[in-house]
Amino acid sequence: MNAEGGSIPGATGASSKRRGWAGRAFSAVLAVAALVFVAVAVPVRDRCWDPRAPASTKVAVSHDAAGCTLHLRSGDVRVDTAECSQLRCEPGVASTFAHVRFDVLALLLVLYGLGTVPWAARWRALLGFAGVDLSVMQVWRVCIESQAGGVLLPGGIGGDALRIVFVLGRPARAGEKRPRAAIVVASALLDRAVGLAVLSALAAGLGFAWGGLHAGALAFALAAIPVAFVVGLAVLRGLPLDRAGSFLESRVGVAIRPLLDYVRDPRAPRAILAAAGLSFLVAGVQLATIRGLVFALGGTPTAEKWVYVGSAMAFIVAALPALPGGWGTADAAYVFFFGSAGAGLPASTALAVCLLYRLFWYLSGIAGAALHVARPRVAAAGTRGHPAEDPPA
């Protein structure tokens, strides 16, 4: 502290840099550890063993019409069909993808795409009183275009930033007021928060439906997320601002100020309730897509509840700011919760579900990038071109 009671700028900046480096280092270590876990847990080739042997005989195996090849450290050994049929095998990634049903995969891609429409409608509901006059399809195009940025940055934060920038930077129509930045920022944050709360509630509900009250601690933890969300909104709405001056000036206070401005508006509860209703459609499509991927890969869960509980946990883990696209952390979450510790699926199937779902996300990002390039541009004299607004839909 200096003589005037303020913090020393140089010390504050150095401390912030140290925290930034520490955070990035932790994220990198976390991602590398997750990737190592996946590499160890998931075989590329089938791993087979002889159940009659007194000791472990697990080795990598390649199958063909004439039998199979055991890939031993001493060299490859051919085994005929009769002996090969006596082996018990864990499928590898190669054989898992070789048996995928592409017809089901195509239908799931369509379902995933349709799920982006209620997502856009959810954000539009939250933007409702920000003075933004956009149709659902115009908001949908913004959301899809933002996916390209979400793919490139950890936790998908790039997509949120692009959505905010587009709404705040769009040309204003005649007589239209500019939207308040705090409301637009808060709508993007609440879009994530509402989505997480409803996804957790639906996953927990399905977990209890399949597992009863013995669904496990994680199901109860997921059920607590929407409760915490509602309680948090109630606290923010009832926070006495005249007594919270020092809190509002703190880093946390400055960070949540947009949310405070949003949730204290009299129109906020109705907008959030409408968004929650639409979010059930979004979450339903997400969970149905993942369950369909398990089916398309020929997987049969031994504990159905873990498909839904594990999916929600994987979404939460994927939001951690580690590697772009949740590489490593999300893969490890799927392998853990869908594998022997949860749904009882082979590790290769669990990883394949994660990779295929990520592929759907990347395809939406590619579509968004193409839409952004195709968007007409308008340029004013002396200024750079800005994206033109879509015609009313």
pLDDT of residue 374: 84
In a domain, 37, yes or no: no
pLDDT band, very low/low/confident/very high, at 206 (cuts 50, 70, 90): very high
Decide if pLDDT at 383 tops 60: no
Indicate whether 181 and 77 sit together in one domain: no
Same structural domain, 158 and 294: yes
pLDDT > 80? residue 162: yes
Residue 392 lies in a domain: no
For residue 296, the tally of other CB atoms under 10 A from its CB is 21
Asked whether residue 268 is domain-assigned, the answer is yes
* 72 & 219 share domain: no
Q: Is residue 28 part of a domain?
A: no
Q: What stretch of H or E contains 11? A: helix 9-41
* pLDDT value at residue 267: 87
pLDDT recorded at residue 211? 81
Indicate the burial class of 373 (C-beta count within 10 angstroms; 0-12, 13-18, 19 or more).
exposed
* CA gyration radius, the chain: 25
Pairing of β 75-80 and β 67-72: antiparallel
pLDDT at 273: 94
- In this predicted structure, the answer to whether residue 7 has a pLDDT above a threshold of 50 is no
Choice between 321 and 296, residue whose per-residue pLDDT is larger: 296
Q: What is the pLDDT of residue 231?
A: 94
177 and 269 share one domain: yes
Which tokens hold the place of 14?
Answer: 């150095």
Contacts of 10 (CB under 8 A, 6+ apart): none
**Within a domain: residue 391?**
no
Q: Are 283 and 95 in contact (CB under 8 A)?
A: no
Measure the CA–CA gap between 32 and 42, rounded to whole angstroms. 15
Look at residue 392 in the predicted model and tell me its pLDDT.
40
SS3 45: coil
Q: How confident is the model at residue 378 (pLDDT cuts 50, 70, 90)?
A: low
**Residue 114: inside a domain, yes or no?**
yes
pLDDT value of residue 110: 96
26 pLDDT above the threshold of 80: no
* 79/160 same-domain check: no
Same-domain check for residues 162 and 54: no
99 vs 287, residue with greater confidence: 287
**In the predicted model, is pLDDT for residue 321 greater than 90?**
no
Distance of alpha carbon 337 from alpha carbon 290, whole angstroms: 13
| Per-residue model confidence (pLDDT) at position 56 | 60
Residue 81: give the domain boundaries: 46-91
The alpha carbon torsion through 55, 56, 60, 63 (nearest 10 deg) reads 60
Instruction: For residues 70 and 112, state if they share a domain.
Output: no
Which residues make Cβ contacts (< 8 Å) with residue 365, sequence separation at least 6?
147, 148, 150, 151
- In total, how many domains does the chain have? 2
Segment 111-141, tens digit of pLDDT: 999 999 999 999 999 988 777 778 899 899 9
Check pLDDT > 80 for residue 276.
yes
3-class DSSP assignment, residue 56: coil
Per-residue pLDDT, 341: 75
Which range has highest mean pLDDT (1-15, 47-61, 134-148)? 134-148
Among residues 91, 124, 159, the one where a domain terminates is 91
Spell 120-159 as b/e; 16+ CB within 10 A means b.
Answer: bbbbbbbbbbbebebebebbbbbbbbbbbbbbebbbbbbb
Q: Are residues 128 and 74 in the same domain?
A: no
User: Worst-scoring range by mean pLDDT, 49-58, 145-154, 305-314?
Assistant: 49-58
pLDDT at position 307 is: 93
Statement to judge: residues 60 and 178 lie in one domain:
no
> Do 186 and 288 share a domain, yes or no?
yes
Q: Residue 120 falls within a domain, yes or no?
A: yes
The answer on pLDDT for 199 being more than 80 is yes
Average pLDDT, the chain: 81
Q: How confident is the model at residue 82 (pLDDT cuts 50, 70, 90)?
A: confident
Q: Which of 46-60, 123-137, 222-236 shows the lowest mean pLDDT across its residues?
A: 46-60
Whether residue 78 is found in the same domain as residue 214:
no
Is the domain of 60 the same as that of 166? no
Give, in order, the Cα–Cα distances in Å from 34 to each of 53, 160, 265, 292.
33, 25, 42, 25
Residues in the chain, overall count: 393
Name the region of 131 (left: φ>0; alpha: ψ -120 to 50; beta: rest): left
**Burial category of 113 from C-beta neighbours within 10 Å (exposed 0-12, middle 13-18, buried 19 and up):** middle
How confident is the model at residue 360, as a pLDDT?
A: 95
In a domain, 2, yes or no: no
Confidence of residue 16 (pLDDT cuts 50, 70, 90): low
27 vs 343, which has greater pLDDT? 343
| Stated pTM of the model | 0.79
> What pLDDT shows up at residue 391?
43
Residue of 8 and 367 predicted with greater confidence? 367
